[in-house]
Amino acid sequence: MKSVCIIGAGPAGLVAAKTFLQSGQFAVSVYEKKDRLGGIWAIDESSTNGYLSPQTPTNLSRFTVAFSDLDWRSVDLRSKHDGRAAKLPMFPKAWHVNRYLQMYQQRFVPENVLQFDTEVIKAERAKQSADASRTTWQITSRRGSITEIKSYDYLVVSSGFFSRPRPLARSVHRATPGPGVQIIHSSEFKTLTDIFPNAPQKHGKNILLIGGANSGGEAAATVAAQLSNARWSPASSERYEGCKVVHVVPRPLYALPPFVEYEKGSYVPIDFKLYDYSRRPPGLIQSNAGQQPLEVRNMVHNFLQGVVGGDQKDLGSDALQAPSGDDKASAYVALSESYSEYVRSGLIEVVSGRVERIDCDDTGTIARMRHGNDLSTLEDVGAVVYATGYTPSAALDFLADDVKDVLSYDTSSMRIPLILEQWQTSSREVPDIGFLGFYEGPYWGIMEMQSRVICQRWLGREAASQRPFEERDRLLKLRAAMQAKGEDVPQFWFGDYLGYMEDMADYLALQRNDQSFKEREGCPTPARFAVEGDKDANINTVQDLHSLWHDCIENGRFVPRAAFRALQGSWRISRRISSQDPKFSGASEGQAHFHPRLPTADDFDFEYLYIETGTFTSSAGLQMQASRRYVYRYCEVKDQLSVWFVKPNADLEVDYLFHDLHFSPPAENREQWACVAKADHLCVQDMYTTRYTLPLKGIWLPRFEVEHVVKGPAKSYVATTEFKRMPQSH
């Protein structure tokens, strides 16, 4: 029996261990330098020192962040604090992911295979025979003060591509801020006290956010959400008045929320849309990677603009407006629930360019930026958060120099440090080492398939024919283009998740498990690519996926979530009141604001404080100032949007329910050219019947209407309010 050393007990290491053990042909040892499994997901409900906050949701749904043989619904998510069962969201939180990995290990990877608190400090190839025909790996590990050397036939590197935050010095030439100004990596940001530890710094300051890719958008939205919550939560003791996020980006980016429009009137999790089988041309599915030709770049921009509802001009930020014409650079995205709405409201200001220096003078801390030949400055910088990504170098430090040389290791390349093939798993020059998830944006399904490819190769299967995009010269050219910041370099150069899953399934002779799906329907999930022995375990997952897919498309699942998200921000309102008693008729003009804050009750996932102010003019010409407040809430388990009254003497606090919104199914919505919801509320003897008409354009809501019909012994009137987006002032 051959021996395999696996470095890292994150998702990649665990699925590798399971794969090799399942074959029955390998003795497996997993080395993990931490005291627990999980990699970047090695966190629990209360962790404060990880790369992620425990509450950080996954970027993609639970059907993508999963392995083929463990259904998320079987994972124990009970809180260790109070024993309450946590709700399983469509996008699990970071601590949920750790629970998933714990259960995966308990089912498939015996504890005696795992060596925690054990760091591999050197991995060298050694000749084991006189004719040098056989080599082994000499693995030097350290546990506390004890160093040990063991030999293995094979080595799997699953130590994580995102192994260490990338230093700010890689992006900014000089950073010498004023006294007390914090500069932290986005992975260190958990709360506003991380960047504002002292009271005098908390007002009227700019929070400089550096980083123009996915983590930059996520971080900017996270900081903005905490600023909004501090301002509008009844539990907040510090309001951070006048603070805002200034996000410096080298190029426009599209902000994609977790749920997007699939077809008019229906909404699905983002990965259902991005990796939809029906979007692929007829015939054999062809995978692709690498630099993007012009026609592909334009196609991607057009697709993304269809998702967000236009060229983003409506956000009021020139820095985010998609370029016009046909000569576009590769598109970049940020996966964020609310980034675009914080930009629209001005809590995030987006500036084009790159930060070159951060200095201090008599007035405070100043950032100096360049965009092309134009120079600009940002004053009153109170804190700096840099979301410049991660470097994979720490995940390769243990490899011997001669191995790195053969693998064309380049310390200056953060994106393609090694030249690999076979779906980025190996090199023919060093056939006894395999890599899992060693590329930007690794998917769990890809890591599982990669582990199967490596296992089969080491069991004697012939290598797959080389993909053109993995030819050595092409990869070296791509690496050089990345260093030169070429416009044809995509955000994720190895990003064709669906294509690679199909590729590797073909190589492994795995038939896709469609069950109730049609031939080109649905999206990939690891459970659709099961090996013998796992098929029974994943049937339920595929059935769950199919059920949800059709619930979204036919019944309007998650339309309330999409509608709730689109309400955020500021509106100009016009209201007409037509009463049976003419003296109560009139009109009002004013403003309304939906302010995000953390939910004030455990049963809800999202919450807005709604504040409306305006002037009412009666039919007789009398005028008066009017205001009102509500709280809008969304619960994912019920897929329910609801409106609540606030307490008269505590106008940040929730009082009691006004009404639940009940949305029409997509087919009816398409007839109305809008998402339509109805609600009712009996107030003593007066019945309020309400109709919401929300003509969403993708994820964007430019206007909407609310009509209240009120009937009772002493009341009979109709109030129709039109909401229009307020013009941008930033």
The mean predicted confidence, pLDDT, of the chain is 95
Q: Say which range, 29-43, 186-200, 677-691, has the weakest mean pLDDT.
A: 186-200
Q: Do 36 and 142 have their domain in common?
A: yes
pTM here is 0.95
Q: Say which range, 47-51, 114-118, 255-259, 382-386, has the weakest mean pLDDT.
A: 47-51
Backbone angles phi, psi at 531, to 5 degrees: -100, 165
Residue 127 is part of which domain span?
Answer: 2-163+392-465
- Residue 129 has a pLDDT of 61
Strand 381-386 vs strand 183-185: parallel, antiparallel, or unpaired?
A: parallel
Indicate whether 86 pLDDT > 90.
no
In a domain, 478, yes or no: no
Q: Do 416 and 345 have their domain in common?
A: no
The CATH number of residue 309's host domain is: 3.50.50.60
Q: Do 410 and 380 have their domain in common?
A: no
Last residue of a domain, one of 370, 388, 406: 388
Q: Do 61 and 209 have their domain in common?
A: no
Indicate whether 133 pLDDT > 80.
no
- Residue 327 has a pLDDT of 80
- Residue 134 has a pLDDT of 82
SS3 273: helix
Q: What is the pLDDT of residues 680-721, one digit of tens each?
A: 999 989 999 999 999 999 999 999 999 999 999 989 999 999
Q: How many domains does the chain have?
A: 3
Q: Which helix (H) or strand (E) is 538 found in, with range?
A: helix 535-555
In 3D space, the residue among 35, 44, 38 whose CA is nearest the CA of residue 15 turns out to be 38
Indicate whether 48 pLDDT > 90.
no
- Residue 535 has a pLDDT of 66
- Residue 81 has a pLDDT of 79
Q: Do 622 and 711 have their domain in common?
A: yes
CA distance 718 to 539: 52
Q: Do 130 and 181 have their domain in common?
A: no
Q: Which helix (H) or strand (E) is 249 found in, with range?
A: strand 244-249
Q: How far is CA 424 from the centre of its chain?
A: 23
In a domain, 547, yes or no: no
Last residue of a domain, one of 448, 465, 482: 465
Q: Do 316 and 442 have their domain in common?
A: no
Q: Do 578 and 430 have their domain in common?
A: no
CA distance 321 to 308: 12
Read off the pLDDT band of 131 (50, 70, 90).
Answer: low
- Residue 85 has a pLDDT of 80
Read off the pLDDT band of 326 (50, 70, 90).
Answer: confident
> In percent, how much of the chain has pLDDT > 90?
88
Q: 3-state secondary structure string, 302-332? A: HHHHHHHCCCCHHHCCHHHCCCCCCCCCCCC
The CATH number of residue 637's host domain is: 2.40.128.20
Q: Do 672 and 685 have their domain in common?
A: yes
Indicate whether 533 pLDDT > 90.
no
The burial class, CB within 10 Å (0-12 / 13-18 / 19+), for 354 is middle
In 3D space, the residue among 398, 393, 442 whose CA is nearest the CA of residue 414 turns out to be 393
Instruction: Output the furthest CA–CA distance in the chain (Å, rounded).
Output: 106
Q: Do 396 and 381 have their domain in common?
A: no
Q: What is the pLDDT of residues 542-577, one digit of tens each?
A: 999 999 999 999 999 999 999 999 999 999 999 999
